[in-house]
A and B are shown apart, each in its own frame.
Chain A
Amino acid sequence: MDPQNGDASKVDSKSADGASGDAKLVDAKLVDQKNASPKVSERRFRQMNRRELLKLTPVIALGAFAIPALREPLLKQGLRFSDWASGKLFRSGQLAPTFADSAVTPFEKFPLNDYDVDDPGVIFENWTLSVSGEVQKPGEYSLSQIQALPRIRQNTRHICVEGWDVIGRFGGTRLSEFLKLIGADTTARFITVSCADDYYESLDMATALHPQTLLCYEMYDQPLTREHGAPLRLNIPTKIGYKQAKYLTELKVARVLDRVGYWEDQGYSWFYGL
Chain B
Amino acid sequence: MSGALIEIEGAKSDESDEARAVYEHPLPVRLCHWLNSVALFVLIGSGLQIFRAFPSFGAKIPQKDLLHWPKSLAIGGWLGGALQWHLTFMWIYIATGLFYLGYQIFSGNYRQVLFLPRDIPGVWPMLKHYFFFGAKPAVKEAYNPLQKHAYTTVFALGVLSVLTGLAIWKPVQFSWLAWLMGGFHWARVWHFAIMWAILLFVFGHLVMVILHGWNNFASMLTGWKKDPEYDPR
Residues of A within 8 A of B (CB): 2-4, 11, 15, 18, 20, 22-23, 25-27, 29-31, 33-34, 37-42, 45, 48-49, 52-53, 55-56, 58-59, 62, 65, 74-79, 81-82, 86, 89-91, 94-97, 105, 108-111, 157, 159-166, 237-238, 263, 266-269, 273-274
Asked if B222 contacts A90 (CB within 8 A), the reply is: no
- Identify the interface centre among A3, A111, A162: most chain B CB within 10 Å of its CB: A162
Asked if A109 contacts B59 (CB within 8 A), the reply is: yes
Q: Could you jot down 9 A-B contacts, CB within 8 Å?
A: A40-B6, A49-B222, A52-B27, A58-B35, A59-B38, A76-B84, A82-B88, A162-B53, A163-B188
- Confirm or deny: B8 has a beta carbon within 8 angstroms of a beta carbon on chain A: yes
Q: What are the interface flags for B8-27 relative to A under an 8 Å C-beta threshold, 1 for contact and 0 otherwise?
A: 11110000000001000001
Asked if A40 contacts B54 (CB within 8 A), the reply is: no
Complex CA gap A165/B61 in Å reads 11
- Identify the interface centre among B4, B9, B42, B60: most chain A CB within 10 Å of its CB: B60
Complex CA gap A216/B31 in Å reads 51
Residue in A closest to B231 when the chains form the complex, CB atoms? A18
Asked if A27 contacts B51 (CB within 8 A), the reply is: no
User: Beyond A40-B7, A75-B84: 13 further Cβ-contacts under 8 Å?
Assistant: A30-B2, A34-B7, A37-B4, A42-B11, A52-B224, A55-B30, A59-B35, A79-B84, A91-B173, A163-B54, A164-B63, A165-B184, A274-B169
Asked if B60 contacts A109 (CB within 8 A), the reply is: yes
Residue in B closest to A103 when the chains form the complex, CB atoms? B183
Known: A59-B34, A62-B38, A162-B53. Is A45-B27 also a contact (CB below 8 A)?
no
Which one of B4, B11, B169 lies within 8 Å of A30 (CB-CB)?
B4
Asked if A52 contacts B80 (CB within 8 A), the reply is: no
Complex CA gap A45/B222 in Å reads 11
Asked if A157 contacts B171 (CB within 8 A), the reply is: yes
Q: Which chain A residues border B175 with CB–CB below 8 Å? A: 94, 96-97
Complex CA gap A94/B51 in Å reads 28
Asked if B171 contacts A40 (CB within 8 A), the reply is: no
Asked if B5 contacts A33 (CB within 8 A), the reply is: yes
Report A36 CB to chain B, min CB distance, Å: 8
Q: Which chain B residues border A268 with CB–CB below 8 Å? A: 80, 83
Which one of A11, A33, A97, A161 lies within 8 Å of B83 (CB-CB)?
A161
Asked if A27 contacts B233 (CB within 8 A), the reply is: yes
Report A264 CB to chain B, min CB distance, Å: 9
> Which residues B170-196 have CB closer than 8 A to chain A?
170-173, 175, 178-179, 184-185, 188
Q: Which chain A residues border B178 with CB–CB below 8 Å? A: 97
Which one of B6, B27, B53, B232 lies within 8 Å of A26 (CB-CB)?
B232
Q: Which chain B residues border A52 with CB–CB below 8 Å? A: 27, 30, 221-224
Number of B residues whose C-beta is below 8 Å from A?
Answer: 68
Complex CA gap A52/B222 in Å reads 5
- Identify the interface centre among B124, B141, B170: most chain A CB within 10 Å of its CB: B170
Asked if A89 contacts B84 (CB within 8 A), the reply is: no
Report A206 CB to chain B, min CB distance, Å: 12
Report B193 CB to chain A, min CB distance, Å: 15
Asked if A274 contacts B232 (CB within 8 A), the reply is: no
Known: A30-B2, A161-B79, A268-B80. Is A238-B231 also a contact (CB below 8 A)?
no
Q: Which chain B residues border A3 with CB–CB below 8 Å? A: 121, 124
Residue in A closest to B125 when the chains form the complex, CB atoms? A2
- Confirm or deny: B1 has a beta carbon within 8 angstroms of a beta carbon on chain A: yes
Report B6 CB to chain A, min CB distance, Å: 6
Report A239 CB to chain B, min CB distance, Å: 9
Report A86 CB to chain B, min CB distance, Å: 8
- Confirm or deny: B138 has a beta carbon within 8 angstroms of a beta carbon on chain A: yes
Asked if B188 contacts A42 (CB within 8 A), the reply is: no
Asked if A40 contacts B184 (CB within 8 A), the reply is: no
Which one of B8, B83, B221, B223 lies within 8 Å of A269 (CB-CB)?
B83
- Confirm or deny: B71 has a beta carbon within 8 angstroms of a beta carbon on chain A: no
Report A40 CB to chain B, min CB distance, Å: 6
9 closest Cβ contacts across the A-B interface?
A78-B88, A163-B54, A164-B60, A162-B53, A82-B87, A75-B84, A267-B80, A49-B222, A52-B222
Which one of A78, A95, A163 lies within 8 Å of B51 (CB-CB)?
A163
Asked if B172 contacts A274 (CB within 8 A), the reply is: yes
Report B135 CB to chain A, min CB distance, Å: 10
Complex CA gap A59/B51 in Å reads 28
Report A148 CB to chain B, min CB distance, Å: 29
Q: Which chain B residues border A77 with CB–CB below 8 Å? A: 88
Complex CA gap A178/B202 in Å reads 54
Complex CA gap A50/B33 in Å reads 18
- Confirm or deny: B68 has a beta carbon within 8 angstroms of a beta carbon on chain A: no
Q: Which chain A residues border B222 with CB–CB below 8 Å? A: 48-49, 52-53
